[in-house]
Chain A
Amino acid sequence: MNNKIENTLFQCRAINKEFGNVRANNDISINVRSSQIHALLGENGAGKSTLVKIIYGLLQPDSGSMTFLNEEYSPKSPKDARALGVGMVFQHFSLFEPLTAFENILVGLDKELGEKELHASVIMLSESYGLEVNLSSFIGDLSAGERQRVEIIRALIQKPKLLIMDEPTSVLTPFECESLFKTLKKLASEGTSILYISHKLKEIADLCDTASVLRKGAIVGEYDPKKMTPRELGEIMVGQSLFEPKRPVAANKSNKVLSVKINEVKPDTQFGVTLKNIDLAVYQSEILGIGGVAGNGQEELMQVLTGEKKDRNVSIKYMDNDIEMLNPRERREIGLAFAPEERLGHAAVGNLNLLENSLITDPKKRFQMKMGFIDFSELNEYTNEIIEKFNVKTTGVSALASSLSGGNLQKFVVGREIGQKPSLFIVNQPTWGVDALSAANIRQAIVDIANTGAAIILISQDLDEILEISNKVAFLTNGNLSIPTNTMDIKTDEIGAIMGGISD
């Protein structure tokens, strides 16, 4: 074991890369040893992606050097990188949907290889590493996990010495994650090093031998994730201590705020998900968490709940009123508030300033005077209030929404809705791409309004988030919603079964 650790496979020294005024990578040096799974840990925007793009030849560093297998390494393109033995599996797959899995592997090859020969080696790879894929299936028909396996086979066929995995679990169910980890561990034990990018602390502790932590473009240090708690690692990642929001104390079972029944709602586009058999209710002071892997109907459910999509097959009762035919504005007027997943271009608009963005949702007609004229002093006051309360970092109310960082804009959007004191708040992915401290603040704010009596529906792909603050949880799989269960009573392996079981 010690022998292996000494054995450096890949090294980069003092890598610098600037984009405009932003220093994405600042004097980064890392050491990846043979047969190791090496985590690259950091928040969004910490510089992980820039670094791996440099290693894979997609970007050229401004300065610094790299060595690979004890030789100078400076790939000018991914093709160079692959030829030298570096492979990469992207977070967003680059597969051709109308082609079969096998054809995708075939077209991805740099070298000419006979079809029969290739077929044999693909079968061998998929058998020995547990990468089950039906090679004659069209990519369009495969699940996210299967697509990822195709990508991995495509990378492995080139026999890489170093395999870069960019946030591979973000699209997987817990069950699929486990089988991925098995594959990766086997690869490492047979001599392939893996550079594993993630911000999920638990999986890094399970999987990785070493973790290099990046913060604001620079290396904070190298740690042994097996010897630390995920929380310690998280605090190193964000650079400050974290608090954990507590779930709301108790739901008031006598006051049902919302009940939704959906028999079947067809999607507007052929790529959408059909919602089926959804039956949920949420009570005063209760957070109902809705989990599930992306693309299982979250977006579609949100649209039905906001009223952006109205459908006769839906029945929505809000405090004894049928509201399924109301539009979003009318729903807001009676006490609902929404924060959709997409911040720019849906919840907020980049080309508009923060004042104007406050105007997008104005349920109480607070910013309107007689005849529909805008009350700018009231609007100013409210917008400043959000900025202050939610600690939104911005130059002021007249800053364009696009000038705010993702986390700050999310704080603004959540603040804008919570500030309206809704009786029911429905939010999709409230902390996606938000730094850990802001995320904790946003969760706390959601818990706070639940504690003052609001009902919350929290749709999120972040399982930890849901388990942390929800009173009840349900999971979306292929547009079906599981029966909501008390969070306390549910076990992690059950979740995997619920999320994965119905899916195929």
Chain B
Amino acid sequence: MFKLIPRENVSPVLSLLGPLFSVGLTMIVGGILFYFLGVDPFAAIKMIFWDPLMSETFSTYSIPQIFIKGAPLILIALGLSVGFKANVWNIGAEGQYIMGAIFGASFALSLYPLESIVIFPAMILIGVIGGCLWSMIPAFLKVKFQVNEILVSLMLVYVAEQILALASLGFLRNPDGAGFPGSRNLNQYTSASNAEIIAGTGIHLGVLLSFLMVIFFYVLLFRHSLGFKIKLLGNSPKASGFSGDNPNKLIFLCLTLSGSLAGLAGIMEVAGPAGQINIDFNVGYGFTAIIVAFLGRLNPIGIFFAGIVMALTYVGGELTQFMLNLPAAAIQVFQGMLLFFLLSFDLFVHYKIKLKGNK
């Protein structure tokens, strides 16, 4: 019936318009969805995209919240984007995020109530290592046995979730917590608390690090030979080999970067906004970050803005939940639409559709 024909000249303007177009289309189709859920679509869209930034009632709370929710998305998406550029598909950042949190928190809580200035940086480092180790499993299996990293990294998310449950109910359970699941609150442990750096906002070190990482990754990808090697591998493994690069080393590098950043996001979150290891600690940042990476065109600057937009849908989504009684799932559908429209738009940018003749 239909046939896809690759376009010879892909318009760079159209390619940049993709993310904007998909946000716009998501608003329209999301609005229709909200209408059928019995909510005024204009009010809902305004509450998601406008009120968190502009409304006097909400903005003092929600603007910092956007950065707090955006930070893990940006951190994870930056790491993932490097792999995606090299055709290394780590989609298990959620698991690496969980393991970063468990590693870092376990270390800090094992020292409780000892106070020392060394604990906080050591905890972050161990969190990063935790995330990295979890991504080394798919890296090793891919390089050694050519096992598909998509499956391994995804399945390891569910393993990590089980370990999270085990930690919450078992080895990290708060001994003073009256038997409730969940660890001690790290915010009440001065040496391990990822406290706010601007009073009253909740903005923590992770937000600052997410900004710095945007710059770091920009330089890495566009100014450093390593970024070029990654791009070369992603575009043509054969040319990469011809250049003299070892693809296995680059695969390890990509998974190290993405696992480490997911681990960093995890430890920042557990020691900061979340406060404790608990069964419901992970809220899907690791998966949403995949959308952020693509919405940001795998470009660090793009990822920054995409992370902010996505965080906006989280914060605005929460607003619609308690102001308009929209179900939480409606917001998830809304976020999913973003990726869906972006990918479909890309299809039309890169291919034209031809109706096959009646043969």
Binding site for B on A (CB under 8 A): 20, 306-308, 327-332, 338, 340, 342, 345-352, 356, 359-361, 368, 371-374
Contacts and interface: CB of A to CB of B under 8 A. Distances in A.
A311 to B, nearest CB: 15
B232 A360 contact: yes
A346 B246 contact: no
Interface stretch (B71-79, B200-208, B221-229, B276-284): B221-229
Contact of A359 (B8, B223, B225, B241): B225
Interface in B164-214: none
Given A372-B226, A374-B228, A345 B239 contact: yes
Given A20-B8, A349-B235, A360-B239, A327 B244 contact: yes
A207 to B, nearest CB: 37
A329 B8 contact: no
Contacts of B224: 371-374
B241 A328 contact: yes
Interface in B54-99: none
B225 A373 contact: yes
6 contacts: A327-B246, A328-B241, A346-B238, A356-B228, A361-B243, A373-B225
Contacts of A352: 231-232, 235
B243 A329 contact: yes
A346 B241 CA distance: 9
A430 to B, nearest CB: 16
A306 B239 CA distance: 12
A69 B282 CA distance: 77
A395 to B, nearest CB: 12
Given A345-B236, A349-B235, A352-B231, A360 B242 contact: yes
Contacts of B239: 345-349, 360
Contact of B228 (A327, A347, A348, A359): A359
Given A307-B244, A327-B246, A349-B236, 12 more contacts: A327-B244, A328-B241, A329-B245, A330-B244, A331-B244, A345-B236, A345-B238, A347-B242, A349-B239, A352-B231, A360-B242, A361-B242
Which 8 pairs across A and B sit closest by C-beta, in order of nearness?
A: A329-B244, A328-B244, A372-B225, A349-B236, A360-B243, A349-B235, A327-B244, A346-B238
A329 B246 CA distance: 10
A349 B232 contact: yes
Contacts of A342: 238
A356 B235 CA distance: 12
A423 B226 CA distance: 28
Contacts of A371: 224
B114 to A, nearest CB: 38
A329 B244 CA distance: 5
Contact of A351 (B235, B242, B243): B235
Given A20-B8, A352-B232, A356-B231, A368 B244 contact: no
A236 to B, nearest CB: 31
A374 B230 CA distance: 14
Contacts of B241: 308, 328
A75 B324 CA distance: 66
B236 A346 contact: yes
Nearest to A344: B236
Interface residues of B, number: 18
Majority-rule SS of B interface residues: helix
A368 B225 contact: yes
Nearest to A348: B239
Q: Among A327, A342, A347, A372, which residue has the most Cβ atoms of chain B within 10 A?
A: A372
Contacts, number: 62
Contact of B243 (A20, A328, A350, A372): A328
A372 B226 CA distance: 7
Contacts of A330: 244
A373 B223 contact: yes
A420 to B, nearest CB: 13
A308 B224 CA distance: 24
Contacts of B244: 307, 327-332
A76 B115 CA distance: 85
Contacts of A368: 225
B116 to A, nearest CB: 34
Most buried by A among B223, B224, B239, B241: B239
Nearest to A77: B359
A346 B242 contact: yes
Interface string B16-43: 0000000000000000000000000000
A306 B244 CA distance: 9
A300 to B, nearest CB: 14
A260 B227 CA distance: 35
A372 B243 CA distance: 15
| From A330, A340, A352, A368, residue with most partner B Cβ within 10 Å | A352
A441 to B, nearest CB: 24
Contacts of B242: 306, 308, 328, 338, 340, 346-347, 360-361
A348 B239 CA distance: 7
Nearest to B359: A77
Contacts of A327: 244, 246
A361 B228 CA distance: 12
Most buried by A among B225, B231, B235, B245: B225
A494 B27 CA distance: 75
A380 B322 CA distance: 57
A372 B230 CA distance: 14
A20 B8 CA distance: 10
Contacts of B235: 349-352
Nearest to B237: A345
Nearest to A60: B357
Interface string B234-267: 0110110111111000000000000000000000
A331 B241 CA distance: 13
Nearest to B241: A308
Contacts of A350: 235
A327 B236 CA distance: 17
A345 B228 CA distance: 15
B236 A374 contact: no
Contacts of B226: 372
A340 B228 CA distance: 21
Contacts of B223: 373-374
A361 B243 CA distance: 6
A328 B242 CA distance: 6
Nearest to A21: B8
Most buried by A among B241, B244, B246: B244
A352 B239 CA distance: 11
Contacts of A345: 236, 238-239
A359 B228 CA distance: 8
Contacts of B8: 20
Nearest to B228: A359
Contacts of A338: 242
A352 B231 CA distance: 9
Nearest to A20: B8
B216 to A, nearest CB: 13
Contacts of A359: 225, 228
A308 B239 CA distance: 10
A85 B246 CA distance: 55
Contacts of A347: 239, 242
Contacts of A374: 223-225, 228
Nearest to B219: A373
Interface string B326-357: 00000000000000000000000000000000
A345 B226 CA distance: 19
A338 B8 CA distance: 29
